[in-house]
Amino acid sequence: MFLLIYSTLFALTVVFALGVLVFRNTVKSAISLVFTMLCIAANYLLMRQEFVAFIQVIVYAGAIMVVFLFVIMLLNLREPESPAWYLRGMRYWGGALAFLFFFVLAWGIQVFSVADLTPGAAALEELRRESGQAEVTQLATLMVTRYIVPFLLTSVLLLVAVIGAIVMARRKDEDGRDITFDEDEEGA
């Protein structure tokens, strides 16, 4: 059963990732990217990394996608151009290289990820299981107790960012006139 869920999810992730490349329509591509990211989030959940899954959904599927859409909007959805003559064959070479890279990565992960076999990590995992706490709950509890100051300071940071964005992007000055550059040499 578990294997079925895993393999379905992996297959879906790969299919959507391929969709990003295959679709000629930019919006369809972007939508597949959203689904790819959601699938990756589900993968994280299966690995019991709940916090990373949240971040994946909120930051990647939400925030990063907004930036993507922003770029798409700026480029005004032109018709895809046909590649120049010297780039025609690149698709196959690129595909071959990507496959090669996949195997290198897979090999690397297999060789280097021995985290579960080491005594320290195993002990930590044992402790986690004993405590019966999800990792995200541990993180959350720490954030509201020991790390309360950085937690609250982020609100100030976000407020400063809001003010900064609006100040720097303003187009009218205090009297409602359009802002244009002076011919000054230096700031006041």
Partner 1 sequence: MITPSNLLAYTPIEQAYLPVLVMLVIALGFCAVVLILSPLIMKGKPSDAKLEPYECGIPTVGTARIQVFVRFYLVALLFLLFDIEIVYIIIWALAMTHAENAQVPGFVAFSMIVMVFYVVVLLVGLLYEWKKGALNWN
Partner 2 sequence: MDSSLPVQAYVPEIHPTGLIPFLLLLLGGIACLVVDAATGKEGSRRYLPWIAGGTLLASITCFFLRLVPGEVFLEDTFRADAFGQLASIIILASTFVMTTMGPSLVRRRNLPSGEFYTLILFASLGMTLLAISNELLTAFISLEVFALSLYVLVGIDRRSRKAAEACFKYFVLGAFASAFLVFGIAFLYGAAHTTFLTEMAEVFRQGYVESVGPEGAVTEIPVNTMYVFVGFAFMFVGICFKLSLAPFHMWAPDVYQGGNMPAVMVVATASKVAAFAFLVHLVEALSYWQGFASGAVYIVTAVAVVSMLWGNLAALVQTNFRRMMAFSSVAHSGYMTVGILVLVALPGLMSGAELEAGQLLIRQAVILYMAGYTVMNILAFGVAYYIGGGGHMAAYRGLVYRRPLPAAGMAIAMFSLVGIGFTPPTIGFMGKFYIFKEAVQVGFVGIAVIALLASVISAFYYLNLVVTMFMRAETKPAEAPLAGTPEAPVQVGGELLARVVLVTACVLIFVFGIFPQLFIGLGETLVNGAVR
What ranges in the chain are assigned the alpha helix state H? 2-22, 26-46, 50-55, 65-74, 90-112, 119-131, 135-144, 148-168
Residues that bind partner 2 (CB under 8 A): 120, 123, 126-128, 130-133, 137-138, 141-142, 144-150, 153-154, 156-157, 159-161, 163-164, 166-168, 170, 173-175, 179-182, 184-188
The entry of partner 1, partner 2, none near residue 63 (CB within 5 to 8 angstroms by kind) is partner 1
Q: Smallest distance from the beta carbon of 177 to partner 1, in angstroms?
A: 15
Dihedrals φ, ψ of 178, to 5°?
A: -65, 140
| Contacts of 47 by beta carbon, 8 Å cutoff, 6+ apart | none
Q: Smallest distance from the beta carbon of 170 to partner 1, in angstroms?
A: 8
Q: Smallest distance from the beta carbon of 67 to partner 2, in angstroms?
A: 16
Take residue 105 and report the two structure tokens written for it.
């990565």
3-state secondary structure of 178: strand
Site string (125-144) toward partner 1, x via CB under 8 A: --------x--xx-xxx-xx
Take residue 106 and report the two structure tokens written for it.
């897979």
Distance CA 109, CA 50 (A): 22
Dihedrals φ, ψ of 133, to 5°?
A: -105, 135
Amino acid symbol at 138: Q
Task: Give contact residues for partner 1 (rule: CB under 8 A).
Answer: 51, 54-55, 58-59, 62-63, 66-67, 70, 73-74, 78, 81, 83-84, 86-87, 90, 112, 114-115, 118-121, 124, 133, 136-137, 139-141, 143-144, 148, 151-152, 154-156, 158-159, 161-163, 165-166, 169-171
